[in-house]
Each structure stands twice: as C-alpha cells, then as structure tokens.
Amino acid sequence: EAGVTQFPSHSVIEKGQTVTLRCDPISGHDNLYWYRRVMGKEIKFLLHFVKESKQDESGMPNNRFLAERTGGTYSTLKVQPAELEDSGVYFCASSQVVLTEASTDTQYFGPGTRLTVL
C-alpha cells in the first residue's frame, strides 16, 4: 500500500510568487493534516481536514495560506504571496477515522516539501 505522497519535494520561489503544494493521503484515510517546520523551530500543526471539511485550522498562520481538499481525496496548500518567513518543510499526514474508543488516531506522514522563498 502506498504511503502519503507529497509534491513537489522541493520548491524554490521568489518572494511575492505563488506556490501550491500537493498531498495525496493513504487511500481510505479521511483525516488529512498539514504541518510545517520553519528553520530552527519545532514542527507546528497547520490544519486538519476530515474528508473535505476543515475540522481545525487554528494553526494557519495568516490569510496568505489556503488549504483545500475537494472531493475528500488529495489536498493542496497554496501560499500567495509567499514571504521569506514561509521557508521551511511542509509535511502532510493522514489517518483513518476514529470509529471506537479503542481506536487511536495514528498519523502517517509524507516525506515533506521543502519550500525556499528567496
């Protein structure tokens, strides 16, 4: 079974440009998460989708970031316009829906997209 995939693996853009990151979760996983690590900092949560709905977007830094998950399959994270401080590694993770109290929401991460804003 394929794991979480992310595209592109690297992206280098100029300040003010737009970049779109893509995440394909594990097939059948309804939960999809975005995280990022900026230089020297901890991995931070950005957003959580349950199917196509945004369950929690408390970690989105500002309105330059837009996440979508049309159809409840893959997700995109658009940064427009990009700023220098957006540089970092963006991770996507997915997990199955928690159906019972005995279930746990184990998240499986993709390899990340390294974004460099010049």
12, 43, 66, 118: residue in contact with another protein (rule CB under 8 A)? 43
35 lies in the binding site for another protein (CB under 8 A): yes
* Parallel/antiparallel/unpaired status of strands 10-13 and 108-109: unpaired
Start-to-end CA span in the chain (Å): 37
Supply the DSSP string of the chain, one letter for each residue: ----EEE-SEEEE-TT--EEEEEEPPTT--EEEEEEEETTS--EEEEEEETTEEEE-TT--STTEEEE-GGGS-EEEEESS--GGG-EEEEEEEEPPP-STT-----EE---EEEEE-
22, 44, 51, 64: residue in contact with another protein (rule CB under 8 A)? 44
110 lies in the binding site for another protein (CB under 8 A): yes
Q: Provide the minimum distance between the beta carbon of 22 and another protein in the complex, in angstroms, as a whole number.
A: 15
Could you give the string, one character per residue 65-94, with x where binding to another protein holds by CB under 8 A and - elsewhere?
Answer: --------------------------x-x-
Q: 58 vs 70, which CB is nearer to another protein? A: 58
* Residues within the interface to another protein (CB under 8 A): 4, 31, 33, 35, 42-45, 48, 55-56, 58-59, 91, 93, 95, 98, 103-112
